[in-house]
Amino acid sequence: MSLDSIISIGFYLSSLGFLIATVITLMARSKVGASGLGSVLSYLFIGTGTFFVITIFQGLGGDFFGISDESMDIWWHIMFYLAMFSYYFGFKALTKLGSDEADLMGSKAKSWGIFSIIVLVVVFLIPGMADSVVEMYSTSILAGLGLHHFLAFALAGTVGSYLMSAKKNLGQIGQAIANPMIIAVLALSIQHFWELLFESWKIVVVTSEVGEGIEKIFLITAATCVTVAALRLKSLAKAS
Q: Which of 107, 140, 172, 207 binds another protein (CB under 8 A)?
A: 172
Amino acid of residue 49: G
Q: CA-CA distance, 147 to 139, in Å (whole number)?
A: 12
Residue 37 near another protein by CB under 8 A: yes
Amino acid of residue 136: M
Residue 90 near another protein by CB under 8 A: no
Phi then psi for residue 26, to 5 deg, are: -65, -40
Cβ closer to another protein: 34 or 122?
34
Q: Which of 34, 133, 145, 154 binds another protein (CB under 8 A)?
A: 34
Residue 2 near another protein by CB under 8 A: no
Question: What secondary structure, in 3-state letters, does 153-207 show?
Answer: HHHHHHHHHHHHHHHHHCHHHHHHHHHHHHHHHHHHHHHHHHHHHHHHCCCCCCC
Q: How far is CA 32 from CA 26, 113, 235, in A?
A: 10, 18, 10
Residue 161 near another protein by CB under 8 A: no
Q: Which of 9, 16, 119, 236 binds another protein (CB under 8 A)?
A: 236
Q: Which of 8, 31, 135, 137 binds another protein (CB under 8 A)?
A: 31
Min separation Cβ 115 and another protein, Å? 25
Min separation Cβ 99 and another protein, Å? 6
Residue 213 near another protein by CB under 8 A: no
Task: Report the residue count for the chain.
Answer: 240
Stretch that binds another protein, among 11-19, 36-44, 146-154, 198-206 (CB under 8 A): 36-44
Residue 27 near another protein by CB under 8 A: no
Q: CA-CA distance, 234 to 214, in Å (whole number)?
A: 31
Q: Which of 23, 130, 147, 173 binds another protein (CB under 8 A)?
A: 173
Count of residues engaged in binding another protein, rule: CB under 8 A: 21
Instruction: Tell me the HSE value of 187 on the side-chain side, using a 13 A CA sphere.
Output: 20
Residue 97 near another protein by CB under 8 A: yes
Contacts for 237 with CB less than 8 Å, ≥ 6 apart: 31, 32
- What distance lies between CA 195 and its chain's CA centroid? 15
Min separation Cβ 32 and another protein, Å? 4
Interacting residue ranges for another protein, rule: CB under 8 A: 31-38, 97-99, 169-174, 236-238, 240
